[in-house]
Amino acid sequence: MDAIALLTAAVLLGGMVFFSFGFAPVLFAQLPMERVRPLLRGTFPFYYLAIVGLSAVAASLAAFVDLTAAGLFAGILFSTLYSRQILMHQINAATDRDDQPAFKRLHGLSVVIQLVQIGLAGWAVLLLS
């Protein structure tokens, strides 16, 4: 159980890091903005679902190994649900009405949430290793 919990945690962390620091920046570097925005807008719902699923599995498995790690994964799960169900829609609405101040504020919040989640996932991986 320990190894499976650790592997699931590592996949979650790796996916989050890759999406944030690999996939999204490459899109911005390789495509014009008018193509990047709809592509990312279409990708985020699936990304968030993957994080919800992986963090739920990681929390469940970690509960048998380390309760702190399980709690960290639960925090990732619930903050991702908030990001997917509420924040993402607010960001899209701000973009649609061309409200740059709201977009910058909301997008900034989503970036902070993502960075905190990466930190929590990294901490949990250390606890499980």
* Cβ(79)–Cβ(55) below 8 Å: no
d(CA 92, CA 67): 36
Alpha carbon of 116 to those of 20, 61, 72, 100: distances in Å?
A: 12, 21, 11, 24
Enter the pTM of the model: 0.92
d(CA 126, CA 129): 5
3-state helix, strand, coil in the chain (%, to 5): 90, 0, 10
d(CA 91, CA 80): 14
Closest CA to 74 of 14, 125, 117: 117
Per-domain residue ranges of the chain: 2-128
Q: For residue 68, what pLDDT band results from cuts at 50, 70 and 90? A: very high
pLDDT in tens, 36-58: 989 999 999 999 999 999 999 99
Task: Inform me whether the pLDDT recorded for 1 exceeds 90.
Answer: no
| Helix-helix angle 100-128:2-18, to 10 degrees | 150
Mean pLDDT value across residues 93-111: 96
Mean pLDDT value across residues 22-47: 91
Q: For residue 33, what pLDDT band results from cuts at 50, 70 and 90? A: confident
Q: For tokens 């790796």, name the residue.
A: 14
d(CA 31, CA 23): 12
